[in-house]
Structures are given as structure tokens and as C-alpha cells.
Structure 1
Amino acid sequence: MAPAPLASGSHGGLPHVAIFPFMAKGHTIPLIQLVNYLRHHQLATVTFFTTPGNAAFVRDGLSSGAGDDDDDDVAVVELEFPVDAPGIPPGVESAEGLASMVSFVAFTDTVSLLRPQFEASVAAMRPPASFIVADAFLYWVNESAARLGVPKVSFFGISTFSQVMRELRIRHDPCAAMKPGDVDDDGNPATFTVPEFPHIKVTFEDLMATFGEPAAVAMMLELDGKLGKAITESHGLIINTFHGLEAPYIEFWNDHVKPRAWAVGPLCLAQPPASSAPAAARPSWMQWLDKKAAAGRPVLYVALGTLAAIPELQLREVADGLEQAQVDFIWAVRPKNIDLGLGFEERTMDRGLVVREWVDQLAILRHESVGGFVSHCGWNSVLESVAAGVPLAVWPMLADQPFNARFLADELRIAVRVSTSDGTMRGLVPSEEISRVARELMSGEVGAAARKRVVELSVLAKESMVEGGRSWVAVKEMISELCAANDV
């Protein structure tokens, strides 16, 4: 049976965009923010694709960004997720529920089974789709778009710096001449100097972090090739960044690589901050931050991402380090049932707060009491910290995070680097290092200089997103070009 037409929008004449994120919160959030930006500026109506297990999260994000006149300009379509898919735990519809890179690859393969439903739903959109925005991990959408005769633009939620480094890794293949454990004459990890950017030196671990554990390298290399092909054969690439942050790499991509990249961020600023709720309605962790602000006590925020599984031993080292540092802190910890050590939370209750629930990270970073952020260096977290004017302590663990860390610490100098005991990315970070980094970021000279620079970048971030700013112009240009491609 043919699906019923999917009507979206009462704002006649606006482009109708199909948006399809990969099933992971870090991939979905920026595309929700893009939708809210399109709505706020009345640039398009949207049909947003997800699955039943992710729909509540999507609808909550869309409702929080809706204005008084935005109730009817987004349709959410739920595609039924395959049941009993091999290699995936039962009931899991988001990458956060996976335990390894091997299962991650199995998950991306399973997601490709949504293709028939997606194609039927896009074909039923009324008015017809002007263009499709799809996460690069949904590499098969290129063929769907071609079959439907609809232009498609890729979204890849990493920095332009990381995207350029990925391209240059493929171009130069430095891994062929490097191997794990290579060191220089001083015993430090051996580095590869990037010919196009001689000031950048990367290690074997930086280059291989994308591919995860050794058992998954071959599968991840194959998946990486599919992602690259999906991007190259798209009508364009959406990057969540802004010129004030990454201009040299945006320009390099558009001059020397393809397809055209549109820098449309930071999308975390796509809508203004929510108005302050009454004190009684604010989450307990926001009320705790209010008290710290009133007492004039700056707070360190600690959050290490949602995808990397961090061993309990390492989290206990973090707990010990925060206790040693004698700084005020709020720690969004996961998994929520982790044991941080006997008496830790009781001993630090005057200075620290451990939160074991989903928190509004951007609201925390925007809070006046927060003066530093210990982060895994995922790109969403980086942008939220930059937008809020908060310096970082960067602790990369996988994927694009090592590139982000080098960019922030070495080039932008808005971050302090967290070092492992053995110099490898997967090595233990001892409590003494956590304590050192926390003190340096919150009260040291390096932290003070980083804070000054990130505040300057925060101003540029806000300027880019207002009407007439460079990111706003990029969104308008993207819509015009893709709609023109559809007409052709």
C-alpha cells in the first residue's frame, strides 16, 4: 500500500526539506538545532525522519525550539527499526546502546535496512521534498536521492579541521610508514608533519583513533570509505562550525576538496537561551549552580561524552583527582550506577555535585558560575563551550577527538591538554594529572589566557548566527543552490 502523503507546513512557498540524522544523540542534536534555526528565520518547512525509539527525544528537542508560530512547520516521521538485527542488543535504536566499534558497524548496516521506508516516505511528502539533508553515516541515502530525483546534501558532525585531516590522511597515507609505539629520539610519540599545513603534527594514534579497537579496524576502514564516497557524491556538505573559528580549513576544503562546504554554525546558538524558569521549576543541578554563583565560587564542569565506555578504575581516578584539586565541580557521570569510591560524594558534597541523569549541557556551560570544562572533546561539546566562552581541558578518546584536541590546545590555545600516564590515548589518566589540569584550568596562568581567547571566539560565534551573519548567509545560499539544483 502506498504511504499517505506527508503534509508539512502552513508557510506557503517555503522550501520543504527532508532531514535524516544518524541514530545517535550527538548526531541528532545539531540537526534538531538546524531545524529550529530554519523555523526561527522562516527559511523552510521540514519533515524530520527518525525511529520510534528516538522519537520522544526528537520531539522534545523540536518543541523546545518552537516559537509561537512554529507548531505546524515540522512533521516527524517514524521509520520502523528492524527487529532482532544481528550484532545489536535487543531494543537498541541508538548508538549510545552499543558496546564496541564492531557492534557500531553492525548498527550502521542495520540502519541501511530503513531505505525502502525512507524512499516511500520522501516520495509521499507534500509539497514534494526540495532537497534532503542526511548524515554521512547514512551513506545509502545518496542512491535514494538519485532514485527520487531530489538533491541531497551531507551532514557530518565533525570539525572542518578534522574533516581536512581525514582527507589529507587518505591523500598521503602516513599510516603506511608509521606503526603503534613509534617514538622520536626523545621517546615521545613519532609525528607526521602535514605537508599542506606544516605547523600541524599528528601521531599514529591520532590517525587511527577513528577506527577504534584492533578487531574493528578493517570494518571501520570500509565504513570510512563509504562515508567519504557519500560526501564526495553529494551536492554539498553541511559543517557545524563558523569562519571565526576555522576559516583556514573551510577555505582549504572549498578550494582543494569537494563538494562545496557550508559552515552554518555553531548550531547550538540556533535559538536564544530559554527564559529563566521559576526557581522551584529549575533542575536541582541548576539550583546548585545558582548557589555557587551567589557565593562567588567558580565551578568546573566535567562530562566525558556518551559513546566511549570509560572503565570504573579510570572514573575513580577522576574522582580522586577532583577531590585533590580542591576545586568546586559538577560532574555529569555515566554510567549512572558507577561506583566512584567509598565516601567520595559525601566528602566532596560542599564543593562538588555528581549528576547521574541527562543534563542540559549548554545551559550548564552558559551558567555564570561555570569557569572551565573537562571534556572528551567531541565537536558538539567543543562548540557549546566556545559559544559559552568557557575554556576546556581536553581528554580525547576516539574518532575525531584527537584532532579536535590538537586544534584547540595547539592552534587556538583555548584548552589545556590532559595527558595519560603512558602517552597513549588509551592509557590511564592518574588522579594527579586530573588534579593538575583542574587547578591549571581554573586558577592557573594558562587557564586564564585560554579563558580570554575563548571569550573572544564566543563573540564571533554569536555574530555568525544572527541575521546577516556569515553562517546565516551560508544557510540562505545553501537553500538557494539546492532548490535551484532541484529545478534543474
Structure 2
Amino acid sequence: MEAPHVLVVPFPARGHAVPLLDLVALLAARGLRLSVVTTPANLPLLSPLLAAHPAAVRAVTFPFPSHPSLPAGLENTKGCGPGQFPTFIHAFAGLREPVLAWTRAQPDPVVAVVADFFCGWAQPLAREIGAAGIVFSPSGVLGVAVMHSIFRRLVRRPEGSDDDRFSVAFPAIPGEPSFQWRELMMMYQNYMAGALEEKVGEAVRQNFLWNQQDSWGFVSNTFRALEGTYLEQPLEDLAFRRVWAVGPVAPYTVAAGARGGEAADLMAWLDGFPEGSVVYVCFGSQALLTPPVAAALAEALERSAVPFVWAMGGGGGGVVVPEGFEARVAGRGRVVRGWAPQVALLRHAAVGWFVTHCGWNSTLEAVAAGVPMLAWPMTGDQFFDAWLLVDEAGVAVRACEGGIAFVPDAGELASVLADVAGEKGRGVRARAKELAEEAARAVKEGGSSYADLEGLVQEIRKLR
């Protein structure tokens, strides 16, 4: 009997697409056939997956829908300028009609559509072709529930108030968490302020509503030991849909780059430090630190006296550190302008803490490595993730209150760094090791994520 045919729609942002492609690999290994929607410039990201599963996975390439407000040739969010992200979401939805036409032309029907939560348009498409629509969340369950809640409820600040610290409650989520207005998605704040073009704003909101109204269920890159509170029963903010927790989906592999060149030199440098003594600092691929923020961080690292590696990520070329900083910290600090082998770094015995923006991929990499975190959320779902890690899971300490424009007090941040490197960080370090063991168990046979993944595959097979 031929394997069920599943259509997959990743969102063209690396932090969204990579975990969904990792899930595709897991589904292919379990006997499903998968067609993955992509555009020409994003096709290379699929190359390892296509090479590993040539009989089970194929790419379906469509031209990226043009939009007058986006630069010509832009096909992923890495090239988005300030404020262009919502427009990009709206533009990408232009694939709906060509994808729909393609599915109708297939000799073997698509039985399920798995689409990123920023591709909500794929959910009514699935319903239209008689398939099950499944929303993929590259974020945790808490984060995706909060995001859907605000667009469903249209929460507002009090009339006439401009207080960015106004507290917004989420009564339908277990524990009834609350977050300050400034901690909600910037895209949502702009939507409510009328700062988005009307057509763009409504398209973004509709994406979230489609996920709730038309989907069959959600699949999340998380695991029960981390977010069991939000998995015990269906959530109102996710329309009471089933959630399969299948993470961490990323296989542990030390990148080839960690074994040669500058990365190998960095790993050798780390070999000279005691176990757990080095702080690793990285804010992902999207956040670009302003000069005042970078200066405060540099001063804190210098004053704390802790050994460190500061990886500046994809935007590292634009970060300016104070003059003479690298010379003054030579021997105990390294600055990496550009990418660093993050998985390998987190797995190095010398690395004991991770200063992070709490993006979900970085969060899971740290959790899987057993490395506690210093939470410095910037935007998006990162404030929700930080709350989960600090207040619920106990595997992180707050570095500062966070935000892209927030400039921390260098002395206070230096004290936090020094404190966690000493006895004050012992309990958090121990909890991080425990959670790493639980993450490893979750994805092995008999574990909760393994069982959810097997259950998801069986449900898809029934759709034939």
C-alpha cells in the first residue's frame, strides 16, 4: 500500500524552517511521503533533507510572490528591513492559489497539510482539498498560545493609556500568566496602534484565526517535562485542538565547521578552561544590538571577570564593541564576529552558562545540552519563553528586563554574571542537568515525544 502523502509548508525564516525540516526527516523515517513547498532562493536549505531521504521527500518549488513594499528578490526574512516582517507574511500568503492548483493536479491526494503558524492560509487550503490541516509551532506551547490569544481577543491597553508596562492577563492559560504590554509581540503592538497597512495587518491577524478555526491540530517542538502544564488538556487559545509535543526535533550533531578552521581554534581555546566556567553569549540571527547595548554588555563582561565567548551571529558585522575591549579581555574572552558552532559550544564541558535572547531553537539547544541560561529576551515570543524558563522550569536566571532598545546597567549585569558563576547558580545548574536528561528520554523509544510522534504518524495513516 502506498504511503500517505503529506504537504509541508515551511515559513521562510531559518528559525522556523529548520525545525520543521527536522520534523519532516522524522516523518519520512516513519514511512510517510512528503512534498515540501519552497522558493528558488530557499531550495538549498532543503538539500541535506533531500539527499538523506530521496525516495520519501521532494521539493515543490514556486516563484516567491512579489510585493511592491518588499525589495525585488527577497525570499526569506533575513533580508527584511525594519517593519517589513508583517508585509513578508502577507506576501508569502500569495502562494495559496498556486499551491492549491498543484495539490489538485496530483495523482495521489494529499491527506494532510503541515504548515508553520505564520502560514495560516494553508489551513483553509487543507480543508478545501479534504485534507487535515496541522499547524506546526517552532515555538513552545505557551508561546504559541499567547500569540494566538492576543490576536483572537484583541487585547488592548486602557483607553487613553500609553503605559508600556500595563499588565495583560491570560486567564485561559493554566497558571493565568500575565505579561507587560511592552513584552507582547511588536507586530501585535503595531497592529493595534494602526501602524501596519490595513491589508497587511488584517492578513496577519487572519493567519492566526485560520490556525484556530480550520486546523485539525497542532504539533509543537517541545516536550512534556518542559511544558506539561500546557499539554494536560486542550487550550481555549488553541481552539481546544490536540497538540502533539514531539521535540526536541533537532538531532544532536556537531557541525562540520566545529572541526576545522577558526571554529576548531575556538574549541581548542575552550579546552584550557575548567568545567562550567565559561559564559557563552549569543542573541541569534535577527537581533542586532545597538551601540549603547553592546557597550553595556561589553563593560559588564569586562567587570565581571568571568571567561566568555561572545558570538555576534549573522548581524555581527554591525555590532561595535568599545575601543580596546578585546585587548583588555585577551586570554579570558573571545569575540566571534559572525556565526559560531552553537551546538558544539553548548556541549563543550567548559561552557557553564548561556546569555540568550530565549529564541526557542537556542532554548532547546541549551536545554538538551544541560546548560543553564541567563535570559535576555528581545522580541516576539522570547518574553514568554523567558518566563517559562525562569519562573516555571527553573533553568534560567534573568539577566535583565530585556527588549531590543533596553540598555542594562553594566554594574548590575556584571553582578548577575559573577553571581551565577559562583554558588548562587548551583541550584539552577543542577535543574538544567535534570531537564537535559528528561529531554533525552523524551525522544527515545518509550519517551513522551517519541510516543506523540508515533501517534501523529498513526493518525495521518488513518486519514487515507
Q: Same fold (TM over 0.5)?
A: yes
Per-residue Cα deviation, 1:467-487 (whole angstroms, up to 9, x for no partner):
2321122122222223323x3
What CA distance in whole angstroms lies between the structure 2 residues aligned with 1:283 and 1:74?
Answer: 33
| Aligned AA (2:30) | Q
1:148 aligns with 2:148: no
Deviation at 1:457, TM superposition (A): 0.9
Taking the TM superposition and a 5 Å limit, the aligned residue runs for 1:380-459 are 380-420=361-401, 426-445=405-424, 447-459=425-437
Instruction: Among all aligned residue pairs of Structure 1 and Structure 2, give the percentage whose two residues are the same amino acid.
Output: 30
What CA distance in whole angstroms lies between the structure 1 residues aligned with 2:257 and 2:396?
Answer: 34
Match of 2:12 in 1: 23
| Aligned AA (1:273) | T
1:78 aligns with 2:61: yes
* 1:136–1:295 CA distance, 2 compared to 1 (3 A): closer
| TM-score with structure 2 setting the length | 0.87
Equivalent pair of 2:220/2:243 in contact (CA under 8 Å): yes
| Aligned AA (1:258) | F
What CA distance in whole angstroms lies between the structure 2 residues aligned with 1:159 and 1:458?
Answer: 16
Q: Secondary structure at the match of 1:253?
A: coil
Equivalent pair of 1:135/1:154 in contact (CA under 8 Å): yes
* 1:407–1:144 CA distance, 2 compared to 1 (3 A): same
Deviation at 1:265, TM superposition (A): 0.8
| TM-score with structure 1 setting the length | 0.84
The number of equivalent residue pairs is: 454
| Aligned AA (1:204) | W
Match of 1:6 in 2: none
What CA distance in whole angstroms lies between the structure 2 residues aligned with 1:410 and 1:302?
Answer: 21
Equivalent pair of 1:323/1:348 in contact (CA under 8 Å): yes
What CA distance in whole angstroms lies between the structure 1 residues aligned with 2:187 and 2:234?
Answer: 20
Per-residue Cα deviation, 1:425-455 (whole angstroms, up to 9, x for no partner):
742123224323322333341x221111111
Deviation at 1:221, TM superposition (A): 6.8
Match of 1:46 in 2: 34
* 1:170–1:138 CA distance, 2 compared to 1 (3 A): closer
| Aligned AA (2:19) | P
RMSD: 2.9
Deviation at 1:163, TM superposition (A): 2.8
Q: Secondary structure at the match of 1:30?
A: helix
* 1:16–1:439 CA distance, 2 compared to 1 (3 A): farther
Per-residue Cα deviation, 1:352-395 (whole angstroms, up to 9, x for no partner):
22222333422322222221111111111111111111111111
Match of 2:220 in 1: 239
Deviation at 1:91, TM superposition (A): 2.4
Structure 2: give runs of 5+ residues left out of the alignment: none
What CA distance in whole angstroms lies between the structure 2 residues aligned with 1:212 and 1:361?
Answer: 32
Q: Secondary structure at the match of 1:72?
A: coil
What CA distance in whole angstroms lies between the structure 1 residues aligned with 2:7 and 2:205?
Answer: 24
Per-residue Cα deviation, 1:380-414 (whole angstroms, up to 9, x for no partner):
11111111111111111211111111111122221
Per-residue Cα deviation, 1:22-49 (whole angstroms, up to 9, x for no partner):
110011011111122224x434232222
Structure 1: give runs of 5+ residues left out of the alignment: 1-11, 183-188
Match of 1:322 in 2: 301
Equivalent pair of 1:212/1:399 in contact (CA under 8 Å): no
Match of 2:241 among 244, 250, 259: 259
Q: Secondary structure at the match of 1:76?
A: strand
* 1:424–1:360 CA distance, 2 compared to 1 (3 A): closer
What CA distance in whole angstroms lies between the structure 2 residues aligned with 1:278 and 1:305?
Answer: 18
